[in-house]
Amino acid sequence: MSIPKIVIHTDVIIDFLLHDKESPSVLRMAMRKFFCYTTVFNAIELFSLAVNKRQVKAIEHALSVFKILGLNARSAKTYGALFARDLKLPRLNIFIAGLCLESKLSILTGRPEEFYGIEGLAVLLPSMVFNKIK
């Protein structure tokens, strides 16, 4: 039996980094159930938010548990089609969605509105992760 795979969005990683530790974070719960990936674009977004060396180290540590998905030339057609649709979404999220679609993976996020209009993208909410894990 193989473990299901998902992509973890930036907000879930930030939640983990800021979590109070009294109850399991969404990321910890997801890691019990799924093989978790993130994307190079999520990593870029995380590092752009760091304001000191301690935060950079915490982000590096958090990212060390993921396989990080990146772009390749073969995927240009998929991304071009997404950009051509003129979606009113942040460009990083279009790239993240493209990586999810190319990899045939769902994305776990507490901000599903950031992916509205991406046809074929499966979005998991944190509440779904908690409900699936017993």
Extract the runs of DSSP E, i.e. beta strands, from 1-134.
5-8, 35-39, 67-69, 106-108, 123-124
Residue 72 to residue 52: CA distance in whole angstroms: 31
Amino acid at 72: N
pLDDT at position 1, please? Answer: 64
Which residues pair with residue 8 across a beta bridge?
A: 108
120 phi-psi bin (left φ>0, alpha ψ -120 to 50, beta other): left
**Interval 51-85: pLDDT, tens:** 999 999 999 999 999 999 998 887 777 778 877 87
pLDDT for 85 equals 78
pLDDT in tens, 81-109: 877 876 777 788 888 998 999 899 999 99
pTM score, whole prediction: 0.89
Q: What CA–CA distance (Å, rounded) separates 23 from 107?
A: 22
